[in-house]
Amino acid sequence: MTNPSLDKEQGGSTPEQPLQPTHSQSSHDASAAEEREKSEVKEQLRTDHGDADVEERAVEGGEDAEKRNDLDRMRTTATATSVTSTTPTGRLPQQKPWYKQPNPLRWGKIPPVPKERTVCPEYTAGFFSSLVFQWMAPLMSRGYKRTLELNDIYSVNPNRAVDPLTEKLRASFKRRVAAGGKHPLLFAINETFFREFWLGGFCSLMSVIMQVMSPFTLRYLIQFATDAYIASVSGLPPPPIGHGIGLVLGVTAMQVLQSLATNHFIYRGMLVGGMARASLISLIYEKSMVISGRARAGGAELPDVPAAKVAEKHAKDKKGPPGNQAGVAGDGVGWGNGRIVNLMSVDTYRIDQAFGLFHIIWTAPISLLITLALLLVNLTYSALAGFGLLVIGVPVLAKAVKGLFARRKAINKITDQRVSLTQEILQSVRFVKFFGWENSFLDRLQEFRNREISAIQVVLSMRNAIMAISLSLPIFASMLSFITYSLSHHNLAPAQVFSSLALFNGLRMPLNLLPLVIGQVTDAWSSLARIQEFLLAEEREEEAVYKPDAPNAVELRDASFTWERTPTQEAEGTVGGSPKGKGENARKAKAEKSEPPAADSSEEASTLVEEREPFKLQNLNLEIGRNELIAVIGTVGSGKTSLLAALAGDMRKTSGELILGASRAFCPQYAWIQNATVRQNILFGKEMDKEWYAEVIKACALQPDLDMLPNNDMTEIGERGITISGGQKQRLNIARAIYFDADIVLLDDPLSAVDAHVGRHIFDNAILGLLKDKCRILATHQLWVLNRCDRIVWMEGGKIQAVDTFDNLMKNSEGFRQLMETTAVEKKKEEEGPTPQLAGDDGKSKKKKNGKGGLMQSEERAVSSVPWSVYSSYIRASGSILNAPIVLGLLILSQGANIMTSLWLSWWTSDKFGFNMGTYIGVYAGLGAGQALMMFSFMVSLSIFGTAASKGMLRQAITRVLRAPMSFFDTTPLGRITNRFSRDVDVMDNTLTDAMRMYFFSVGSIIAVFALIIAFFYYFAIALVPLFIIFVLATSYYRASAREVKRIESILRSTLFAKFSEGLTGIATIRAYGLTDRFIGDIRKAIDDMDSAYFLTYSNQRWLSVRLDMIGNCLVFTTGILVVTSRFSVNPSIGGLVLSYILAIVQMIQFTVRQLAEVENGMNSVERLLYYGTQLEEEAPLKTIEVRKTWPEKGEIIFDNVEMRYREGLPLVLQGLNMHIRGGERIGIVGRTGAGKSSIMSTLFRLVELSGGHITIDGIDISTIGLQDLRSRLAIIPQDPTLFRGTVRSNLDPFGEHTDLELWSALRQADLVPADAGPNPASGGDASNDNNGNPGGAGRIHLDSVVEEDGLNFSLGQRQLMALARALVRGSQIIVCDEATSSVDMETDDKIQATIASGFRGKTLLCIAHRLRTIIGYDRICVMDKGRIAEMGPPLELWRMEGGIFRGMCDRSGIRMEDIRGAREELEALGGGGGGGSGGETVAEKELEKKLDE
């Protein structure tokens, strides 16, 4: 294989968003609520093309692979540009002299951007610097003076890099598994991170002890004040002031220690979490490369037991760790890509979260015990009353929270359904527009959304009730204790009372955190169990034996292979919310696409009658020489692709042996294209070899395409190769296989997606040229290649029917001859020899995108904080602008009640009013209850308004997006749109109102307490002013850097996610090429990049915390000194009250800053949704004028001087097109790539508005009518048949406008069901096993058959026929057919053509063709070239134009005059002639023919 050191260096491929919508989005379980701090990909933020471009050019000059690859590694998908240029400005801000700059923090010169990233200074920091996080200071000041760039971010601390840690973790895990210990993964993690983890534990213990001791010390301070007060009143000598000051210093010192300990405990915890996550992601990725197909599909290790039974068996034996009964383990779900991405995004994230505060689990109980002891000292046995309430209350609340989780799971299911529906709609948005189905889908979405929102509102209200009670519990507990204390004939002395109040308040933190942490840890525990189960899953044995010295390249001896069964589906019918189909189908799809339809999973989804057997290859015997060219042929579903997949190592061998004599390269039917430059896609990790590269490009006819691309072969290809056409993808795929220079090349129908002449060019120059000394195995539908192959393998139903040379087969086999008859005429093609005409493929004029390398638009992004207008829109969206004052009013009331409760307590202790005991107790209890009520109503009103706003804004945004013009979808990566509709909506639904509530609540409390203190000690105001200023500066200082670090982290994270999921979709390819190590190195590099920013987000929070705590501690000190100095004048009850409050408030201060950041982040989501809901450009309105019901009656189309460009500033694609199509005429449109064939279609459906000219249909100018009217009256059979998840019925007729009989007749006409099939399921249902009879065992299809995502459970041929049936159901007068026959075999092709001829009799038909054969019988042919009509007329007339384009095409495809006549007659026989427009037409044509013949 390639040299490994080189592999590491060349790591530069960049992935795409996966085909599946799961980036944690579609399956954030319960944690959605807690996904606080790090909210996944908060911003897939915008970067800037410009610099990236310069970067590229600079590098292109010096062919310096290493440097370029370094840049490429940083390239991100989120924005399809390179992270090297994350600033919008790119210039340093202007330096001002210090005297013009009022803010002293901005003095000094602005630091330049470093040339390269430096190692994290924490690596070398001393003790003091580490203690207060001073090593962060340089980054903070840099971030305050200018926007941070990627190079400012320190690279990861070498002690925390992913490589050594993963190795250590893996070694430990393997050792423990081998030793057979329990929970090997858990202990391996503990061993790997032992020192750091338990250091955090020690800090946690310290902080807890300090936290309890300081309120207790208050008792002595208050006692001191009381003594002094009494002394002054009764004229005795007061205690010396030194005692008081000593106590104040003591309390402050404890607070300082506690603050440092807490910060380090959190920092260490989060770091260990982050490092554990990094190592786990790396392990998961490595494992996904080697996991066996059987484990992927969830089959057990038993031969062929239906998965359903296996699931039952497993459920019985597996009583695994908590969370497994929920159907996580071995229940036939398997490890599809969706689940693996989930492990990586959700499960590792939960483990990461749980580490953050893990130690609270054992330190909180300790703190509770110490507190109880101190309370007993203070209040004797009365303390037990309050404590008892807490002990009973907290578990009850925890139980209630658990109840919420179950509901949350149910909500997640609805959310998943909504997200995957959104995802599907967006993936096929062009299609939804063609059919005018927007409203149908919006209604479906709205239905999910209503269910989702009402469920969320219920959960939030329950949660608010729980929160209100838990926040009031300490108040009620202290009430109970004080009431008991005073009733048991004690005098309420201020010292005991307020010290106890502070202790009870101190309990709030551990009590609230404990259930949360326990929840996180149990979540993490089930996630850990899942990851462990995955890491222990069965690995694939290399099926093949390598014998480099074997005489043959490939030998199969009695080998049988099998696909894995389809993972069991939940019987969810239409909306299946399980991750089922995603991963497994993506796998099968790669390997199988138009193949083993036997592995399909239609009815048993809903009925589970009998599990369908997966497709198998049986008893293959085959020897292939080292330089043979072997063709593999057979009908759809006969196992061609499977044979290649077996050789590529993608199927499980069940018996026999497979011997490979050399390395292999694999070119799957569906190209796996990475999101990288064209060159990287071809090199695929190999060294650049100039000459060989050039030859490969030439052989694959790629040069003309490269010339059309903006940066030649350095052009970036979008996700999944979105920016290039199907044919180009396929040719890249072939180029990669050739360039790789392996000795066995497996080609799976590579010529299907390209035009005939290009196919011939590739066949001659690549397959017979560059590869002539290799062993080539070619699965193909293109029968013209057969007689140039050395031998032919004929597959039928998973077995090899025959292996022989072409001539022998023609001689001896009747079946083979019949197969060849269908293409008899194509023989002539060879003689003409290949014409190296320009590469063509499938007419997507998507090439000429904007002149720069980047096609995708950068995401619009708010640089500074969120503008006020967003807040006001948010409030308006919640129903009315008055909602805000209502919420604030409730907040003020609840805070007022809070302060009053405590004031009343202090008046009671000093017996200010001289009421009797009963009155004091009654009012005290009443105030407490009132406060809890107010708090609850404040929270509930906030949540209800918040979710209402979220619902309104999502509806507005999704409607607007579906109404956006196509150019928006062409320039916006799908992942970004889905991200807004999943991540951002999730934030608005669940986290934003929470963040707001906490923020308002903390701010309210702080203001209330300060007001209270100032009321009694007005000198406090003097201390407050400077501290407040410092506080504001510190926070703005912090936020400047924190925002950028977070943003860079999000970009790096989405790069990692994209790389990860892209790697998963390409596993078959990566494995066949043997490049796993290179991709693993790549992912690790990405993980380290993400961590470098991720770890800084922790340390900058700690940096801020330490500094804000200092401010808080100054406040405590000031208050203490004020109480001591005014000990004679102020009643000690008040002093005690104030001191106990200030201790409680210190913790809140930094919390407020963090909450504010949370609210801002949440509002960012609002801003982004608002942007989609209000700023996107829209298409023309759906309805304008009334159009008569019957229009179009004739179907006459007139193009009058039509000009069209795809977007502003792009060249015209159609230039002055004039064409008159009579009603009922059949027109074939041909031309090479980019000639504007598909553009005609786009103009007809107004996907792109015209730049000039008019199109009229039956006398109505289509630009004047509503889009809905226009699109619903036309029918289209698109190039790639798109099916939506649901049933066959919902795909044919989403609005339910047609009867079942109409639908059945369409299915029959499209030949999807046998002629006798009808509405009763029995007739068509039993034919489920015929693999060979009719293609794809068509008898299985039924109106209620389940359709999985993208319709992957149907073979490609069936999907094509389904698209045909859809057009038939529509019954429109005008049909546009974008040649869909490129990837089906001849037989299916003939069927489709026959259906088109008979089913659309007398209707206007426009067919964009790639195979001339399909249209030579049409009435007229229009040859497009460069956006103009080059030739137009009846086929015979065009054929006779010597030297014409059409004639040239015919010659190349070996089409003669007789063929054209024959095709014509055939069509007439089927469809009763063309030209329904004017009967004279055909007669005239015949006259013309006679004349010409004579």
The pLDDT tens digits of the residues spanning 462-489 come to 888 888 888 788 888 888 898 888 888 7
Q: If we measure between CA atoms, which residue out of 936, 1008, 16, 1145 comes closest to residue 508?
A: 1145
Q: Is pLDDT above 80 for 1484?
A: no
pLDDT of residue 1467: 81
- Give the position of tokens 């069901």: 1313
Asked if residues 1287 and 1345 have their Cβ atoms less than 8 Å apart, the reply is yes
Range 1041-1044, long-range pairs (CB < 8 A, 24+ positions): 1041/139, 1041/140, 1041/142, 1041/143, 1041/144, 1041/148, 1041/1100, 1042/143, 1042/1097, 1042/1100, 1042/1101, 1042/1104, 1042/1157, 1044/143, 1044/147, 1044/148
Q: Is pLDDT above 90 for 627?
A: no
| For residues 956-969, average pLDDT | 89
3-state secondary structure (DSSP) of residue 1248:
coil
Segment of 538-542, 1136-1140, 1318-1322, 1490-1494 carrying the highest mean pLDDT: 1136-1140
| For residues 1116-1141, average pLDDT | 87
**Is residue 25 very low, low, confident or very high in pLDDT (cuts 50, 70, 90)?**
very low
Token digits of residue 1030: 């410092």
Asked if residues 1417 and 1460 have their Cβ atoms less than 8 Å apart, the reply is yes
* 913-926 per-residue burial string, b: 16 or more CB within 10 A, e: under 16: eeeeeeebbebbee
Q: Is the pLDDT higher at 619 or at 95?
A: 619
- As a whole number of angstroms, the distance between CA 701 and CA 838 comes to 7
Q: If we measure between CA atoms, which residue out of 1050, 998, 1036, 1267 comes closest to residue 1168?
A: 1050
pLDDT of residue 1095: 92
pLDDT digits (tens, 9 = 90+) for 997-1011: 889 988 998 888 888
| For residues 1113-1118, average pLDDT | 90
Asked if residues 474 and 507 have their Cβ atoms less than 8 Å apart, the reply is yes
- Give the position of tokens 């010339």: 707
Q: Is the pLDDT higher at 1468 or at 248?
A: 248
Token digits of residue 1213: 């694609």
Asked if residues 300 and 330 have their Cβ atoms less than 8 Å apart, the reply is yes
CA angle 671, 674, 676 (to 5 degrees): 140
- As a whole number of angstroms, the distance between CA 153 and CA 1095 comes to 10
- Amino acid of residue 760: R
3-state secondary structure (DSSP) of residue 129:
helix
**pTM of this prediction?**
0.70
pLDDT of residue 172: 94
Q: If we measure between CA atoms, which residue out of 990, 901, 999, 1007 comes closest to residue 946?
A: 990
Q: Is pLDDT above 60 for 92?
A: no
pLDDT of residue 299: 60
pLDDT digits (tens, 9 = 90+) for 495-521: 888 888 888 888 877 877 887 888 889
**Is residue 300 very low, low, confident or very high in pLDDT (cuts 50, 70, 90)?**
low
- Amino acid of residue 502: A
Q: Is pLDDT above 50 for 330?
A: no
- As a whole number of angstroms, the distance between CA 986 and CA 979 comes to 10
Q: Is pLDDT above 60 for 1269?
A: yes
**Is residue 54 very low, low, confident or very high in pLDDT (cuts 50, 70, 90)?**
very low
The single-letter DSSP state of residue 95 is: P
pLDDT digits (tens, 9 = 90+) for 1444-1483: 888 888 888 788 888 888 888 888 877 654 443 333 344 4
Kindly tell me the burial class for residue 551, based on how many C-beta atoms sit within 10 Å of its own C-beta (0-12, 13-18, 19 or more): exposed
- As a whole number of angstroms, the distance between CA 485 and CA 502 comes to 16
**Is residue 48 very low, low, confident or very high in pLDDT (cuts 50, 70, 90)?**
very low
Q: Is pLDDT above 90 for 450?
A: yes
Lowest mean pLDDT among 603-607, 715-719, 1454-1458: 603-607
Q: Is pLDDT above 70 for 874?
A: yes
Q: What average pLDDT does the chain have?
A: 77
pLDDT of residue 72: 41
Q: Is pLDDT above 50 for 1154?
A: yes
Q: How far is CA 693 from the centre of its chain?
A: 35
pLDDT of residue 41: 32
pLDDT of residue 1319: 63
CA angle 464, 384, 467 (to 5 degrees): 5
**Is residue 1486 very low, low, confident or very high in pLDDT (cuts 50, 70, 90)?**
low
Token digits of residue 1218: 């004039």
Interhelix angle 580-592/1020-1065, nearest 10 degrees: 40
How many other C-beta atoms are found inside a 10 Å radius of the C-beta of residue 242?
8
pLDDT digits (tens, 9 = 90+) for 776-788: 888 887 777 888 8
